[in-house]
Structure 1
Amino acid sequence: MEQKFIATSAFWELFPEAEIAVLFADNVSNQSYGKIPKDLLKQANDHAVKWVEEDPISANPVIKDWRQAYQKFKTKKGARCAVENLLKRAKQQKGVGAINPIVDIYNSVSLEWAFPVAGEDRDFLQGNLELTLAKGGEKFVPISEDSTEEALAGEVVYKDAKSVISRCWAWRDSARIQVTEETKNLIFYMENINPKRKADHNQAVQLLQKRLKDYLGIEASAVLITKERPEISF
């Protein structure tokens, strides 16, 4: 059954210059670290510090971009873009640790290029995947938690036909479709909200594709979602 990735008009009204790289990979194996360097995450954490050299952390341009974006919609108190959380840990020398091969690869790219990257198990998606504004009350169960939350009206979310997949745009992902060692079919998305970073964004996407192929033999196709091209079928 055909599914779609759709960024709705309500999203583009808030962020007309955003771009979202969407990547797909099929029939993967996530049970071996293959050729992944043992120090991949350490090097990525060390590299990440260059993005957050200023104090406080909110003074750094990549953090400021996302802080300003989060002021445009309803958010849960204290919610920050996932990339801020990663960079903050690197700055505090509490670097991001290993989770599983695919997650480690996309976290390494996120750290090195300062873009949020999410990976999801496509087999657990129900219907279309939408980037949109919540009506309010949509259910969400965060990774590593048992409690059920509800999205706020006007909150930017990723959702499918069943529930919210990511709250506060790029803050936290759902446990229901998280990437595990058993994952076979994947969808990734990497967001950019600063038009001046288009070249960086493109290089980050290419690095993610390269590392997936070089380290795990995974071929990942990529499509760029923009206001002019707001949806794709998969």
Structure 2
Amino acid sequence: MLDRIAVADAVRELRPDFAVLAMTAEGLANGPGDAASAAWLERAAERADAADPHVEAWREAYRAFGAKPNRTRPSVDALMRRAVPSINRVVDAYNAISVEYALPIGGEDSGAYRGPARLVRATGDEPFDVVASGEPAVEHPEPGEVVWRDDDGVTCRRWNWRQCVRTRLTEDTKNALFLLERLDPYPLDRLHAAAGDLEARLREISPDVRITTRLLAW
């Protein structure tokens, strides 16, 4: 999967400084949140720095494609503004790393993907599956919106704002894709450090997990 992940030229033109470190984790043994994953979230909250310049860089990126970051916040901005609830051990792990490192991180069930992940400017007719009022529903991105997608539709809207239902990580997820996204002035060595800490926590959850990474940068 990693060798087929792509970032469209239109996105690179919008933010030439964008880089994403993609990580696959195969053979996960996930489970409900526990004392260890709650401690990760608590420690991350103590270390969070909402004034980190990386957060503002993402707000600027949202404005560049027409989104209003005070209304639909970049994922890391939203996480830093609230107490992050425990979801399951793997989600808790990457949410904690996201807050601690001021870094947007997407976590997806790669078994639910249809074709490779790619970051594109939306046409506006792509399907995005959600739950509305307790019922399955389909929405569509705005034309020009930056989205992650696969062959079946949008997997995450507004770059890293909200993921679809289909690819969410659950306690039954065995194989996952993580997308760690950075903009200037975020150092690449800090990006790699975040990936290393995420890998360590995934191995704590699942000692036999098989992890591979790929950096896409220009």
1:136 aligns with 2:134: no
1:87 alignment partner, one of 51, 66, 80: 80
Q: For each residue in 1:103-123, what CA deviation from the matched residue of structure 2 results, as whole angstroms up to 9, or x when unmatched?
A: 000011001001011111111
Counterpart in 2 of 1:222?
213
Counterpart in 2 of 1:161?
151
Counterpart in 2 of 1:199?
189
- The TM-score with structure 2 as length reference comes to 0.89
Q: For each residue in 1:82-111, what CA deviation from the matched residue of structure 2 results, as whole angstroms up to 9, or x when unmatched?
A: 00000111xxxxx10110110000011001
Q: Is the 8 A contact 1:212 1:219 kept in 2?
A: no
SS of 2:84's partner is: coil
SS of 1:109's partner is: helix
Counterpart in 2 of 1:189?
179
> Structure 2 CA distance, aligned partners of 1:24 and 1:143?
27
Residue 15 of structure 1: CA displacement?
1.3
Counterpart in 2 of 1:106?
94
Counterpart in 2 of 1:7?
7
Q: For each residue in 1:169-228, what CA deviation from the matched residue of structure 2 results, as whole angstroms up to 9, or x when unmatched?
A: 01000101100011111111010011442222121111111111134323422110123x
Structure 1 gap ranges (5+) = 54-59, 90-94, 228-234
Residue 29 of structure 1: CA displacement?
1.2
Residue 31 of structure 1: CA displacement?
2.6
> Structure 2 CA distance, aligned partners of 1:211 and 1:2?
21
Select between 4-13 and 33-42 the one with higher mean Cα deviation: 33-42
Residue 66 of structure 1: CA displacement?
1.0
Percentage of identical aligned residues: 31
Counterpart in 1 of 2:61?
69
Structure 2 gap ranges (5+) = none
> Structure 2 CA distance, aligned partners of 1:181 and 1:127?
23
Select between 210-219 and 122-131 the one with higher mean Cα deviation: 210-219
Higher strand share: 2
- The TM-score with structure 1 as length reference comes to 0.84
**1:187 alignment partner AA:** L
Pairs aligned (count): 214
> Structure 2 CA distance, aligned partners of 1:76 and 1:135?
19
Select between 68-77 and 160-169 the one with higher mean Cα deviation: 68-77
Query: 1:196/1:24 Cα in 2 relative to 1: closer, same or farther (>3 Å)?
Result: closer
Query: 1:163/1:37 Cα in 2 relative to 1: closer, same or farther (>3 Å)?
Result: closer
> Structure 2 CA distance, aligned partners of 1:143 and 1:124?
17
Counterpart in 2 of 1:117?
105
> Structure 1 CA distance, aligned partners of 2:115 and 2:3?
6
1:52 aligns with 2:50: yes
> Structure 2 CA distance, aligned partners of 1:111 and 1:196?
14
